[in-house]
Amino acid sequence: MSETTQLPKAALSRRTFLTVSGGAVLATPFVRTSSAASRSLTIRDPGGPVGEAYKKAFFEPFAKTAGVDVIGVQSSHGPTGEIKAMVDAGNYAWDGALLDMSDVDVLSGTKYLETVVGEGGLGPNASQIPAELRSDLLIGAMGYATVLAYRTDTMGKKPPRSFADFWNVADVPGARSVRKHASGTLEPALLADGVAKNALYPLDLDRAFRSLDRIKKDVAVWWTGGAQTSQMLKTGEVDCLITWNGRAQVAIDDGAPVKIVWKDAMFSFAGFAILKGGPNVELMREFIEFASAAENQAEFVKYSTSGPCNPKSFDLIEPKLADILPTHPKHFADMFVMDAAWWGASSAKAQERFETWLLG
């Protein structure tokens, strides 16, 4: 559903891609044997502008500590299709993957993924992560929020302070943009209609679409890619929109007059998961425990606008930086966590209805 959206701060982005095994990329042989049960891990990350962050915060330190090779491979698309194909074919190009919490439910739980908890139980690092930000199959490493963001130059006098304001085009005028996707759109629709954030799930689809009816004609752009929203905020193509916090932050970092509304934002997290039946399950478990450590998650934040899932990380993050992170306690208290289980079970139906609604 939603892609992992860690984004760089503009200042850092310039050096974030002097990457990978430069020469090795060129030298990849034509025929390669599939990853054997050696002391090396191949882990998928979403790549892109923060590709370097995964290496610096997780892969390289673990390689040093555990004395193994960690190879990061990048696939930007939702990786669930690849994982299904790999496990079904028994060809483990990856040992593990950075997954969105919703990906886990899409992969129907244990059918394609191993539990991250080994025989020794939950490790000391992973235990520090709040229960709502982990499961048997995925320990949260970083999290992001679906927020409302607006241009202060055009909407500064009458800023939208909630999704109810976003829906109220008459009193809070301005061009709007909403994601062309059910996930992260139905929740704001219900919040705007007066549903309390702790009473959202299971989503009342009828009510959500009635609410969307009210705003449909006022949505100037239905966006599809997150980068599009940064662009629109930067150029002022629209005055306010619903997007991921990282996308809005990129525009702010580049000098755009944009403000993020954290109230009632929807929180999602991502973490590392293990492919079912792969050759390096135990080593992956060690890696995941390592990636749960406060200092490693704090290191990741230096390159990205995702918040750490280990609350102890905030002891290590400078306050100015901590302020823009979604897991900062003052923001996090105002949010709700997306119900991945509901979406895993209902995504197909909800999206089908959403597409039909758009056509109608």
Partner 1 sequence: MASADVAAATTAPSPARPGTHRLRWQTLPVAVFLLALFVVPVVTLLSISFFDNDGSPSLEHYKRLVDVPLYGKVLLATIKVAFFTMLFCIVGAYPVAYLLATSRKSTRNWLIILVLMPFWTSVLVRTFAWIVLLGRKGAVNQVLTAFGITDAPVQMIYNFTGVMIGMTHALMPLAVMTMLAVMEGIDPNLTKAAATMGAKGGTRFWRIYFPLTMPGVASAALLVFIASLGYFITPALLGGPQDTMIVQLIIFQIREVLNWQFAGAIGVLLVITFMLIFMIYDRVFGLSVIGGAARTASPAEGSMIRNYAGRVGTAITWGLAQITDAAITVFARWVPARRGGVGFSRGGLYLVCALIFAFIALPTLFVVPVSFTSEAFLTWPPKLFSLQWYQMVFESPVWLGAATRSFVVALITASVGMLFAVPCAFALARDNFRGKSALFGLVFAPLIVPNIFIAVGLFFLFSRIGIAGTTLAVVLGHTVIVIPYVVVTVLAVVKGYDRNLDHAAATMGASRMQTFHRVTFPVIRSGMVASFMFAFIISFDELTIALFVTGGRVTTLPKLMYEDALLAVSPRLAAVAALLLVSMSIVILASELIRRKGGFGLGTK
Interaction residues for partner 1, span 63-82 (CB under 8 A): 73-78, 80-82
Stretch that binds partner 1, among 131-139, 159-167, 198-206, 343-351 (CB under 8 A): 343-351
Which member of 12, 68, 169, 220 binds partner 1 (CB under 8 A)?
220
User: Which range in 126-134, 263-271, 288-296, 351-359 contacts partner 1 by CB under 8 A?
Assistant: 351-359
142-201 residues in contact with partner 1 (CB under 8 A) are 175, 180
- Say whether residue 60 binds partner 1 (CB under 8 A): no
Q: How far is the CB of 330 from partner 1 (least distance, A)?
A: 27
- Phi, psi (5° rounding) for residue 121? 80, -175
Residues 6+ apart with CB under 8 A from 231: 237
Q: How many CB atoms lie within 10 A of CB 59?
A: 20
Q: How far is the CB of 172 from partner 1 (least distance, A)?
A: 18
Q: Assign 15 to helix, strand or coil.
A: coil
| Block residue for tokens 């990978």 | 20
What's the CA angle centered on 290, arms 286 and 293, to 5 degrees? 150
Among 70, 98, 104, 106, binds partner 1 (CB under 8 A): 106
The Cα 182–Cα 180 span in angstroms is 7
Residues 230-259 binding partner 1 (CB under 8 A) are 230-231, 234-238, 250-251, 253-255
Q: Which is nearer to partner 1, 18 or 131 (CB)?
A: 18
Segment 277-306, which members bind partner 1 (CB under 8 A)?
A: none
Minimum Å distance from CB 141 to partner 1? Answer: 17
* Sign of the alpha-carbon torsion through 184, 190, 192, 196: negative
Is residue 121 within the footprint of partner 1 (CB under 8 A)? no
Q: What are phi and psi of 224, to 5 degrees?
A: -120, -35
The answer to whether 233 and 177 are in contact (CB under 8 A) is: no
Residue 36 in the binding site for partner 1 (CB under 8 A):
no
CB of 219 to partner 1, least distance (A): 8
Tokens of 291: 């990636």
Q: What Rg value do the Cα atoms of the chain yield, rounded?
A: 20
Q: How far is the CB of 101 from partner 1 (least distance, A)?
A: 14
